[in-house]
């Protein structure tokens, strides 16, 4: 069990140089997406508070449009497009939540969207992107490069490529999660001692860290990753972007990248307290806890923060901890299986 530890707050000039979203930019993003995105509630459970000995505040991004925080970044990014770019549409690649978010925002803004998705993505995510009106092109994760396919489509159609995390507007959009966490905690008379957010490419946790630590420098922000995809944990230790070994398997379909983001890693390195790693069994237990005590459907990748807390990765007794429940898109058969571990 790790004690909370907060690294010193870097000087604003250094943060700027590293590409961290500024508070002014985050506040502007919040205003920009306000009429489209949900200001998701901060929820808590007496049972989970009792279990952890902490006051745990859950930022329920499963209640966001398209059921994940990805909507914020997608919305902030697509609202920056010029009229000409809007007409050309967008192309994106995603295992799922970015696909759902981009397709939902494109529909709102009446733009064409083409999404590349791995053929083994959860069907609820593939079907959802199609229902949002996007053209979905499935690719073979092992034998095709989504970057190459995406660049071809962009060249052919004039569409703008919208990357899932390595983009300043995406990172700044995700940062609005952190802004709201601090605002909503303050409304409860609290400042979080720690904030936990899932990490794949690192856009969410980088944005959250930028917002939270700008407003509360003493708050410790932790990434949480699934076993086998702990690239950030290892990269933070070595000081450089480390790759995951190929062939790893995790139930967290949303959190599988090869290497930390190029733009997100410097921000995370400067602001995070660390990255916690959880197992599939711990994730499943957290999903069951969210079902039983919060009545929220949380997908595997969305439950890693709660999993880390329940598994005792951090010593949070007596503390106030905010946990982002980042997404809720999980196939019903998978969810039903996870709810009944003994069946």
Residues in the site for a second copy, rule: CB under 8 A? 38, 41, 43, 46-47, 62-63, 65, 67, 104, 124, 131, 288, 291-292, 294-298, 328, 332-333, 335-337, 339-340, 343
Q: How many CA atoms lie within 13 A of 277 on its CB side?
A: 10
Q: Is 21 helix (H, G, I), strand (E, B) or coil?
A: coil
Least Å from the CB of residue 338 to a second copy: 9
Considering the complex, what minimum distance in angstroms separates the CB of residue 242 from a second copy?
Answer: 33
Q: How far apart are CA 117 and CA 31, in angstroms?
A: 31
- Kindly state the smallest distance separating residue 329's Cβ from a second copy, in Å: 8
Measured between alpha carbons, how far is residue 2 from residues 60, 139, 302, 315 in Å? 25, 41, 22, 6
Which C-beta is closer to a second copy: that of 152 or that of 333? 333
* Residue closest to 305 by CA, chosen among 330, 335, 326, 274: 326
Q: Least distance to a second copy from the beta carbon of 243, Å?
A: 33
Helix axes 332-339, 280-289, angle to 10 degrees: 90
Could you give the maximum distance between any two Cα atoms of the chain, in Å?
57
Look at the block and give the residue holding tokens 């990172």: 171
Q: For residue 68, what is the DSSP state?
A: B
List of residues 6+ apart from 46 with CB closer than 8 A? none
Question: Closer to a second copy at the Cβ: 87 or 336?
Answer: 336
Whose Cβ is closer to a second copy: residue 65's or residue 320's? 65
Measured from the CB atom, the residue of 194 and 297 that comes closer to a second copy is 297
Please report how close the Cβ of residue 300 comes to a second copy at its closest, in angstroms.
14
Q: What residues contact 19, with CB distance under 8 A and at least 6 apart? A: 168, 263, 266, 267
User: What six digits make up the tokens of 77?
Assistant: 């990014």
| Rounded-to-integer distance, Cα 106 and Cα 248, Å | 33
Q: Tell me whether residue 35 or residue 82 sits nearer to a second copy (CB atom).
A: 35
H helices of 144-291, where? 146-157, 168-187, 203-215, 231-238, 264-271, 280-289
Identity of the residue, 15 or 43, whose beta carbon is nearer to a second copy in the bound complex: 43
Minimum distance of a second copy from residue 297's CB (angstroms): 4
Closer by beta carbon to a second copy, 26 or else 104? 104
- Give the residue with the Cβ less far from a second copy, 198 or 220: 198
Cα-based distances in Å from 258 to 115, 155, 182, 230, 232: 20, 25, 31, 10, 10
Question: Tokens 């990014």 sit at which residue?
Answer: 77
| Residue 159 or 284 with smaller CB distance to a second copy | 284
CB 61 to a second copy: min, Å: 10
Among 221, 216, 208, smallest CA distance to 179 is for: 208
Nearest distance from C-beta of residue 71 to a second copy, angstroms: 11
Least spacing, CB of residue 342 vs a second copy, in Å: 10
């Amino acid at each position: 069990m790790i004690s909370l530890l907060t690294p010193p707050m870097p000087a604003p000039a250094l943060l700027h140089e590293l590409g961290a979203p500024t508070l002014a930019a985050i506040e502007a993003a919040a205003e920009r997406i306000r009429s489209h995105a949900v200001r998701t509630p901060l929820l808590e459970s007496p049972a989970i508070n009792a279990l952890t000995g902490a006051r745990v505040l859950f930022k329920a991004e499963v209640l966001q449009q398209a059921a994940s925080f990805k909507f914020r970044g997608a919305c902030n990014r697509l609202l920056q497009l010029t009229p000409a770019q809007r007409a050309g549409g967008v192309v994106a690649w995603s295992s799922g939540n970015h696909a759902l978010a981009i397709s939902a925002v494109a529909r709102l803004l009446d733009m064409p969207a083409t999404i590349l998705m791995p053929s083994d993505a959860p069907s609820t995510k593939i079907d959802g992107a199609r229902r949002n009106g996007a053209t979905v092109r499935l690719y073979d994760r092992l034998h095709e490069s989504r970057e190459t396919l995406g660049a071809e489509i962009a060249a052919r159609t004039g569409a703008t490529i919208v990357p899932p995390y390595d983009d300043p507007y995406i990172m700044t959009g995700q940062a609005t999660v952190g802004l709201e966490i601090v605002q909503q905690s303050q409304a409860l008379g609290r400042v979080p001692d720690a904030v936990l957010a899932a990490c794949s490419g690192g856009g969410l946790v980088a944005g959250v860290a930028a917002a939270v630590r700008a407003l509360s420098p003493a708050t410790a922000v932790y990434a949480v990753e699934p076993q086998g995809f702990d690239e950030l944990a290892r990269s933070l230790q070595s000081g450089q972007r480390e790759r995951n070994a190929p062939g790893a398997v995790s139930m967290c379909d949303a959190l599988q990248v090869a290497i930390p983001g190029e733009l997100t890693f410097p921000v995370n390195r400067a602001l995070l307290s660390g990255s916690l790693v959880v197992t599939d069994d711990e994730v499943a237990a957290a999903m069951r806890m969210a079902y039983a005590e919060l009545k929220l459907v949380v997908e595997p990748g969305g439950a890693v923060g709660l999993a880390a807390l329940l598994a005792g990765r951090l010593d949070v007794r007596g503390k106030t901890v905010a946990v982002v429940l980042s997404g809720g898109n999980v196939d019903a058969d998978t969810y039903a299986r996870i709810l009944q571990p003994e069946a």
